Structure 1
């Protein structure tokens, strides 16, 4: 099933905001991109549904762009804590319920959390954690936290695991790790039975706590 296409606003088109806006466009959504810097806006004008030069701390400017009609807004203003906070407050006053915001510091995070928004994002911190995880467990292609210390990971099957079954790979931890699927070339295989035999270059997707997932790293 395809995701329902929606309309989003991205306020602040620096590296983080522009990357989010362009990726949402790639998924087929409608994007209003806003920045006070004309040079940045002009650079993205042909790639977004609407790119506007506007002061995000001006309520009238936000209303003129019909931001309240968007399904969600990403506030990606990173350089000015004051502008970020004021923008979020204006959006809440306009009735916007789904607000994601980038936090550039702990005080910034604290204020955003007290205002009460949908999600606070720490792009540099999250990327740093992913880099550390990738260095620590180089056999793991992707990590995705899903809450309550649960993660989904994608593991590339190396030569040492070729020809062994899921139950042998997950011996002693089968009750703590859920095998979700295997990607083999262009084929997606699910559900996976315990006696399923893994092959070189398969991608195995597992879910479980990070500690338990890490415990099987020596086998990979």
Structure 2
């Protein structure tokens, strides 16, 4: 058996250049991560070849993965979602190659369960997660929404009118609403970690944490 190459620490192999895979690969490239994209559709390869390091190959074939050096990557993302069979075959190939971190896109709960059972370390649901985030944002003043575990959530939002012009201590936000202001970003100013003396202005953006239901109520205030 050939000796296994050491993983390229920090390098990411992205398989599939659909909307999810392409956006992920482009963002990794923008933030300076080493990335290689794999796509079997010739048109998509041509579309992205000037923007990303991309190889035309069929990742359902384990020999093709070995030839392009997939075993050298510490992280591989399976962005294929339109074909469940291809997604499962590619993920199984990567598991057999003992990739340290396998991230796989799922389009349904059943798809995700299959991917986990065959060995994917992380399963993501881009459409479902994006739908949840947008639902929370359109319902109030939220600009971004990150749900952690057990209902704990962090949001970026505009401050309710009743907090504007007052310090956090004066508004008694924690006592009255059960949420915690972590920081404040004023236009043209650096981000400021919040204290009791931090004053909130109408044009500010605030970062707030707490239980999701309490945050929903706080963000819904006029």
Q: After superposition, where does 1:74-153 map in structure 2 within 5 Å?
A: 74-137=77-140, 139-153=141-155
- Note the residue ranges of structure 1 that are not aligned, 5 or more in a row: none
* Equivalenced residues, count: 213
- Note the residue ranges of structure 2 that are not aligned, 5 or more in a row: 1-8
Give the Å deviation of 1:218.
4.3
* Normalised TM-score (structure 1): 0.89
Moved more, 122-131 or 155-164: 155-164
Paired with 1:133 and 1:96, the residues of 2 have a C-alpha distance of 36
Equivalent residue of 1:23, what SS?
A: helix
Pair 171,110 (structure 1): closer, same or farther in 2 beyond 3 Å: closer
Equivalent residue of 1:6, what SS?
A: strand
Give the Å deviation of 1:79.
1.5
Q: After superposition, where does 1:20-35 map in structure 2 within 5 Å?
A: 20-35=24-39
CA contact (8 A) 2:133 2:146 kept: no
* Normalised TM-score (structure 2): 0.88
CA deviations 1:14-57 (Å, max 9, x no partner) are 11111111111111112111111011011101111x21111111
Q: After superposition, where does 1:6-17 map in structure 2 within 5 Å?
A: 6-17=10-21
Measured on the aligned residues, the alpha-carbon RMSD in Å equals 1.9
CA contact (8 A) 2:185 2:205 kept: yes
The residue number in structure 2 matching 1:179 is 181
